[in-house]
C-alpha cells in the first residue's frame, strides 16, 4: 500500500510565499508595522512574539529577538534574558488561554536543522493536548486548526496583558 500526499488548494498562502521569497524578514517587518496585521501578541524591550500564520496547533507562537541575528550566541546577556523571560510570559498566557497539557518549545538554527527563516533566530512555542494528533494527519495527511487566527490573536493578547502584569 502506498501513501500519496493530497494537494490542498490554499490561495491565501500566496502572499506569505511571495513575502518569504522577497527576502523580507517577517520578524523585522512585524517590528515596524501594526500588531494586528502581523499578529504580534507581545512586545518587550528586546523581543517580539507573534502567531505563526501556519500553525501546528492553536496558539502556536514564535518569539524572536528584535535584533536580526541567526543564533543565540550572538545575543547580549540582556537580549538573551529578555528572550527567555518572554518565552515564560507567553507560556503563562497560553496556559491561561488554552489549558494545554504540554508544550513543544524549540528553535531550528540553520537550514540543515530545518530553519524556515535562517537569518532571524526565533523560538517556537506550540501548545499540546493529549490526543491532539488525531486521524486527520494520520489518515488524510492533513492538519485541522479549528480556531481562526484573528480570534487566536485577540484571545492571546488578552491573556498576555494579564500574564505580563502579574
Catalytic positions, please? 122
What Cα–Cα distance (Å) separates residue 43 from each residue in 18, 32, 53, 65, 89? 26, 12, 18, 10, 11
Helix (H, G, I), strand (E, B), or coil: what is residue 38? Answer: helix
CB neighbours (10 Å) of residue 48?
A: 23
DSSP secondary structure string, 8-76? PP-GGGHHHHHHHHTT--HHHHHHTS-HHHHTEEEE-SSEEEEE-SS-SSTT-EEEEESS--SSGGGS-
CB neighbours (10 Å) of residue 150?
A: 11
Count Cα neighbours of 65 within 13 Å in the Cβ-side half-sphere.
22
Amino acid at each position: 500500500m502506498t501513501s500519496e500526499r493530497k494537494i490542498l488548494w490554499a490561495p491565501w498562502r500566496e502572499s506569505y510565499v511571495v513575502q518569504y521569497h522577497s527576502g523580507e524578514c517577517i520578524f523585522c517587518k512585524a517590528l515596524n508595522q501594526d500588531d494586528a496585521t502581523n499578529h504580534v501578541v507581545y512586545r518587550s524591550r528586546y523581543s517580539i512574539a507573534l502567531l505563526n500564520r501556519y500553525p501546528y496547533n492553536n496558539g502556536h507562537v514564535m518569539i524572536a529577538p528584535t535584533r536580526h541575528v541567526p543564533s543565540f550566541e550572538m545575543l547580549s546577556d540582556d537580549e538573551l534574558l529578555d528572550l527567555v523571560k518572554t518565552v515564560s510570559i507567553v507560556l503563562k498566557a497560553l496556559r491561561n488561554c488554552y489549558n494545554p497539557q504540554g508544550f513543544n518549545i524549540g528553535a531550528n538554527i540553520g537550514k540543515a536543522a530545518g530553519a524556515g527563516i535562517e537569518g532571524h533566530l526565533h523560538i517556537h512555542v506550540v501548545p499540546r493536548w493529549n490526543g491532539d494528533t488525531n486521524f486527520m494527519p494520520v489518515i488524510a495527511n492533513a492538519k485541522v486548526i479549528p480556531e481562526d487566527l484573528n480570534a487566536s490573536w485577540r484571545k492571546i493578547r488578552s491573556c498576555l496583558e494579564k500574564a505580563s502584569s502579574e
